[in-house]
Chain A
Amino acid sequence: MHQDAASPTTEGGQRERTDIPPRVLLDWRAARIFAEKNLMISLRYPANIIVWGVVPILWLAPYVLMMTALSGSAGTIRFQELSGFDDFVKFAIVGWFVYQYVDNAIWSIGNNFRWEQFSGTLEPLFVAPVSRVSILLGAAISDTVFTTLSAVVLLGTSCVLFGVSYSFVMVAPVILTLLLMLFALFGFGFMVAGLILVFKDPSVLTQLVDTVAFTVTPVNYPVQALPPYARFLAYLVPATIAMEVIRHLLIDAYIEMSVFLTSIMFLLLLLVGFWVVGLAAFRYAERWTKERGSMGGF
């Protein structure tokens, strides 16, 4: 490690580092290194990719089976009227594919500092001269790579098991929509990370946030099936708009340009909103926790 010759010497004879750059809001190098570190750990357990690609099918299947038992086929007039799609199996698989990223924002990004705390590395990490946002962003990037692998396994396995297929002619708009949703969800994940710093025990809080998000987002049913006041809440979750757009692109292979552009604008607004609120909430939670000296506490 490089040491400045002019660095002052401490009582123990060790030189103090004076070349440490000041913290900036976002240090891409630190985020990249943190993402690489997390990915190296994740890829040590490759079975997890398969497990998280297959287990959600066990959560999706009961909905598909229940809707089949009630309607007798893969679609009803009522479902078509509400959603605009005639096949609820195709509809639900896209929903679960996109929802993997919401789960990721809540469980992985939000809980990242908790895992560091369990590993005993949270406090050393927090004295490192990099901004917390860089660390969180690094974690978000690595978790997203891992989730993408699992989500692709989920989509492929579901298509085979349920005998459905999608159109992949409009891949670019799908990727653009997913990316905007992802960045908006990063902000959401920062907010959850702040909550977990304060409340510590993540299992219950995370479950609660996840279940509410799952209920309002159109994973298995269209937003129109919700009561009117809940629809407003649904559109605050970036995945709602993304699911609606991606469904049109993958099932119909068509979306009206005006609808697409409006959706992109809305996602951009959510992105900015979630980052502002998420960062503010995280910084407040960090300060609150540090003032009480409970950063490393369980």
Chain B
Amino acid sequence: MASSKVFTRVIERRGLRSEISAAWAISVRIWKVELSYPLSLLWFILMPFLWLIPMVLAGSSVSTGPDSAELARLTGIDDWVSYIAIGTGLMGLTLSIIWGTGMSLRREQNVGTLETLMTTPIERSTLVLGSALHNLQHGGLGVILQLAASTILFGVTLNAWGVFPALAVLALGVIALQGVVYAIACVVMVAKQGWMIVEFIGDFLILLAPTAYPLAVLPWFLQAASLASPLTWTVEAFRDALILGPGAPSLLTAALVLLILDAIYVPLGLLLYKRTETWVRKRGALSQF
């Protein structure tokens, strides 16, 4: 009788709190799986440095000191090491969200748990949201590690007053990115072996974003395309806030644009996801490889 009551309660669960709780449970479960591989943990700690070091070495091979007159002319920031270290800090977070979340359904499919998860009384989009929550924590810790290492190893100085606005802009950017990720999950659901598309979208978004260079060095058509990417505005404002502080001129514009992108990408991504999921289920192709 007691188990029947629990079962009824589980089936009748509704509301935002229940979904957040389910997303949290998914996030914790992914952490447990990841931490059961010691090499994964080592990679997680080393990854932020290993991605930054080749960039710094490439920069040092063309620049004689820590300042670049050309970069100062293009951006107003002459300290190129800080510019690159903070910009590329968001690269790991972005890739973590795009790969981890975009491929989350495929991963469940590979281990044979997708159909079981789909029959649980949670919103289908919560499956992706739970994975996004995990990747946000995973990638977020990576950003903290990279910024800490950059400060210790390369003498990068961060404006402490800019931390709060930087986090606010990051939150807006991650929300818009979630819309993009829902669209990627749709591609993976339909194409199954969607890693090629995920690779391409992830790399292309990073190419468009001013992580290690200003937009001015991109060809005009890529500059135009980059304006539609939430990552472009997030990286620019995040870095400006941490270098120039809360008075950075790009902050307000970036926040406004990101709010607009949030309002467009999230509903669009969710709609696309729901339609695709229904379509795939109707074709009985959910667990097909």
Contacts of A88 in B (CB 8 A): 61-62
> For residues 57 through 81 of chain B, which have their beta carbon under 8 Å from a beta carbon of chain A?
57-64, 68-71, 73-74, 80
Task: Give chain B nearest CB distance to A281 CB in angstroms.
Answer: 17
The residue on B at minimum CB distance from A68 is: B217
Contacts of A205 in B (CB 8 A): 39
> For residues 156 through 215 of chain A, which have their beta carbon under 8 Å from a beta carbon of chain B?
199, 201, 204-205, 207-208, 211-212, 214-215
**Do residues A215 and B50 form an inter-chain contact, with CB atoms below 8 A?**
yes
Q: Known contacts being A62-B207, A62-B213, A65-B212, is A70 close to B68, with CB within 8 Å?
A: yes
> For residues 214 through 267 of chain A, which have their beta carbon under 8 Å from a beta carbon of chain B?
214-215, 219-222, 224-226
A-B pairs with beta carbons under 8 A, tally: 116
Of the candidate stretches B122-130, B148-156, B198-206, B270-278, the one touching chain A is B198-206
Interface residue total, chain A, C-beta cutoff 8 A: 40
Task: Give chain A nearest CB distance to B58 CB in angstroms.
Answer: 5
Of the candidate stretches B40-48, B139-147, B167-175, B181-189, the one touching chain A is B40-48
Interface residue total, chain B, C-beta cutoff 8 A: 42
CB of B6 within 8 A of chain A?
no
**Do residues A215 and B54 form an inter-chain contact, with CB atoms below 8 A?**
yes
**Do residues B61 and A221 form an inter-chain contact, with CB atoms below 8 A?**
yes
CB of B218 within 8 A of chain A?
yes
Q: In the bound complex, what is the Cα–Cα distance between A214 and B62 (angstroms)? A: 19
Q: In the bound complex, what is the Cα–Cα distance between A47 and B211 (angstroms)? A: 30
Task: Give chain B nearest CB distance to A240 CB in angstroms.
Answer: 14
Say what secondary structure dominates the interface of chain B.
helix
Contacts of A61 in B (CB 8 A): 207
Point out which of B55, B62, B70, B218 has the most chain A C-beta atoms below 10 A from its C-beta. Answer: B62
Q: In the bound complex, what is the Cα–Cα distance between A225 and B212 (angstroms)? A: 18
The residue on B at minimum CB distance from A214 is: B54
Q: Known contacts being A55-B203, A66-B58, is A211 close to B50, with CB within 8 Å?
A: yes
**Do residues A70 and B203 form an inter-chain contact, with CB atoms below 8 A?**
no
Contact of B213 among A51, A58, A69, A83 (CB under 8 A): A69
The residue on B at minimum CB distance from A207 is: B43
Task: Give chain A nearest CB distance to B119 CB in angstroms.
Answer: 25
> For residues 126 through 151 of chain A, which have their beta carbon under 8 Å from a beta carbon of chain B?
none
Q: In the bound complex, what is the Cα–Cα distance between A55 and B197 (angstroms)? A: 11
**Do residues B63 and A76 form an inter-chain contact, with CB atoms below 8 A?**
yes
CB of A292 within 8 A of chain B?
no
**Do residues B218 and A63 form an inter-chain contact, with CB atoms below 8 A?**
no
**Do residues B217 and A78 form an inter-chain contact, with CB atoms below 8 A?**
no
CB of A79 within 8 A of chain B?
yes
CB of B196 within 8 A of chain A?
yes
CB of A24 within 8 A of chain B?
no
**Do residues B61 and A65 form an inter-chain contact, with CB atoms below 8 A?**
no
CB of B51 within 8 A of chain A?
yes
**Do residues A65 and B196 form an inter-chain contact, with CB atoms below 8 A?**
no
Task: Give chain B nearest CB distance to A57 CB in angstroms.
Answer: 9
**Do residues A66 and B218 form an inter-chain contact, with CB atoms below 8 A?**
no
Contacts of B211 in A (CB 8 A): 62
**Do residues B51 and A70 form an inter-chain contact, with CB atoms below 8 A?**
no
CB of A71 within 8 A of chain B?
yes
CB of B160 within 8 A of chain A?
no
Q: Known contacts being A59-B203, A65-B213, A208-B39, is A78 close to B58, with CB within 8 Å?
A: no
Contacts of B207 in A (CB 8 A): 58, 61-62
CB of B228 within 8 A of chain A?
no
Q: Known contacts being A58-B204, A68-B217, A69-B74, is A225 close to B43, with CB within 8 Å?
A: no
**Do residues A51 and B51 form an inter-chain contact, with CB atoms below 8 A?**
no
In order of increasing CB-CB distance, the 3 nearest A-B pairs are A58-B203, A72-B70, A69-B213
Interface residues of A (CB under 8 A from B): 47-48, 51, 55, 58-59, 61-63, 65-72, 76, 78-79, 82-83, 88, 199, 201, 204-205, 207-208, 211-212, 214-215, 219-222, 224-226
| 19 pairs, A vs B, C-beta closer than 8 Å | A55-B203, A62-B207, A65-B218, A66-B59, A67-B61, A69-B71, A69-B213, A69-B216, A69-B217, A70-B62, A70-B63, A71-B62, A71-B63, A71-B70, A78-B61, A88-B61, A204-B37, A215-B54, A226-B57
